A and B are shown apart, each in its own frame.
Chain A
Amino acid sequence: MRGRIQSLALALLLAAPLVAQQPERWLHLRVEHSRDGELVRVNIPLALAEKVLPAIHSHKLKNGKVKIRRAHVDEVDLRAILEAVRQTRDGEFVTVESKNENVRVAKSGGYLLIQVRETKGDKLETVDIKLPMSVVEAALSGPADELDLLAAIRALSAHGDAVLIEVRKTNETVRVWVDTKSTQD
């Protein structure tokens, strides 16, 4: 009996690394222009980005962290908004409705959701961004003037398969997603 328990313990010990091994995760980008027939496809393993980022030492990017003065877009402090979203419970934060465009920013089920709907003539163009909050929090985990890209990529890798960005315009589609396949097929 004792021998069997020891054998089982040994088998579990040997199997542990296999169980713990995570599948390789790939970040995919696909851009298609239907009018010109142009296609852009990029497939990057997240492990590659994890290894490369700390090796880049440039003016703004060091050790996987990028310096941002204050990330402003149209006078809006993006970091302040993301911090506010991080600390608030699930809900809808911003809804902007105009004649041709609706913008919605919400937090739901562990995701930061940004949705844009714009009508151009009789066509509807859409932007859907769905970021895991764990990735947003990792990016903001450092000082106020810094985005931790390395931490964000590690969080993305740990999160699992996800579609991060989908854009559908009249003549163009853009898709960014993460999965365990090295191809986009």
Chain B
Amino acid sequence: MILAKILVGAASTLGLAAAIAFHQGAVILKVQEHRADGEHFSLILPGAMFPLAAKLVPDQKLREIPEEAREMLPAMEVVAQELRRLPDAVLVEVRGRNEYVRVEKRGGLLIVDADDGEDRVYLSVPLRSVGGVLREMREANDR
């Protein structure tokens, strides 16, 4: 009976963790080299990991960012918060003859898709995760 309760408790905790991870979305990073024998790299991580990971990083490390970047932390946090509220939109698009960059807000995700003719990089990040990490960095720098 006790074992059953423990198993139910463990399953509920795992289920809750999975729900949180699913709710936060996933961070997706893909890199594709265009040449014939080019490499393809793909990484998918739960978005919930990143704010939690930022909490575990010592404040000292979070303060080791350039002065200019530190000044922009509050503004970047505001951008992440505001983007969550806004409708889907292509924010920036630059197209050249053989290259392009596209930054888009879609759903709760910030998507960066870039191709310089040699490599294609695709990054999709839940805005909630971005906001969480930026908040941890700002608070570490304020402490």
A residues whose Cβ falls under 8 Å from a Cβ of B: 24, 26, 36-45, 47-48, 51-52, 55-58, 182-183
Listed from nearest, the 7 A-B pairs whose CB atoms lie closest are A182-B89, A55-B75, A55-B74, A41-B93, A39-B95, A55-B78, A56-B75
Chain B residues with Cβ below 8 Å from A44 are 91
Instruction: List 16 additional A-B contacts (Cβ < 8 Å) besides A37-B96, A56-B71.
Output: A24-B87, A36-B96, A37-B95, A38-B97, A41-B92, A42-B93, A43-B90, A44-B91, A48-B86, A51-B82, A52-B75, A52-B79, A57-B74, A58-B68, A58-B71, A182-B89
Q: Are A42 and B97 touching (Cβ within 8 A)?
A: no
Q: Are A42 and B83 touching (Cβ within 8 A)?
A: no
Chain B residues with Cβ below 8 Å from A56 are 71-72, 74-75
Q: Are B89 and A183 touching (Cβ within 8 A)?
A: yes
Chain B residues with Cβ below 8 Å from A42 are 91-93
Chain B interfacial residues counted at CB < 8 A:
23
> Closest Cβ of chain A: how far from B11's Cβ, in Å?
42
Chain B residues with Cβ below 8 Å from A26 are 89
Q: Are A182 and B88 touching (Cβ within 8 A)?
A: yes
Known contacts: A52-B75, A55-B78, A56-B75. The answer to whether A45 contacts B86 by CB under 8 A is yes
> Closest Cβ of chain B: how far from A36's Cβ, in Å?
6
Distance in angstroms between the alpha carbons of A171 and B81 in the assembled complex: 39
Known contacts: A48-B82, A48-B83, A55-B75. The answer to whether A39 contacts B90 by CB under 8 A is no
Count of A-B contacts judged by CB separation below 8 Å: 65
Q: Does B94 contact A (CB under 8 A)?
A: yes
> Closest Cβ of chain B: how far from A54's Cβ, in Å?
8
Known contacts: A39-B95, A55-B75. The answer to whether A47 contacts B82 by CB under 8 A is yes
Q: Are B93 and A37 touching (Cβ within 8 A)?
A: no
Chain B residues with Cβ below 8 Å from A38 are 94-97
Chain B residues with Cβ below 8 Å from A183 are 89-90
Q: Does B77 contact A (CB under 8 A)?
A: yes
Chain A residues with Cβ below 8 Å from B89 are 26, 43, 45, 182-183
Distance in angstroms between the alpha carbons of A63 and B89 in the assembled complex: 27
> Closest Cβ of chain B: how far from A61's Cβ, in Å?
10
Chain A residues with Cβ below 8 Å from B82 are 45, 47-48, 51-52
Q: Are B72 and A39 touching (Cβ within 8 A)?
A: no
Instruction: Considering the complex, give the chain A residue whose CB is closest to the CB of B68.
Output: A58
Instruction: Considering the complex, give the chain B residue whose CB is closest to the CB of A41.
Output: B93
**Sample of 20 A–B contacts (CB below 8 Å):** A24-B87, A37-B95, A39-B93, A40-B95, A41-B93, A42-B92, A43-B89, A43-B91, A45-B86, A45-B89, A47-B82, A48-B82, A52-B82, A55-B74, A55-B75, A56-B72, A56-B74, A182-B86, A182-B89, A183-B90
> Closest Cβ of chain A: how far from B92's Cβ, in Å?
5
Q: Are B90 and A51 touching (Cβ within 8 A)?
A: no
Q: Are B97 and A57 touching (Cβ within 8 A)?
A: no
Distance in angstroms between the alpha carbons of A56 and B97 in the assembled complex: 35
> Closest Cβ of chain B: how far from A23's Cβ, in Å?
11
Distance in angstroms between the alpha carbons of A40 and B97 in the assembled complex: 12
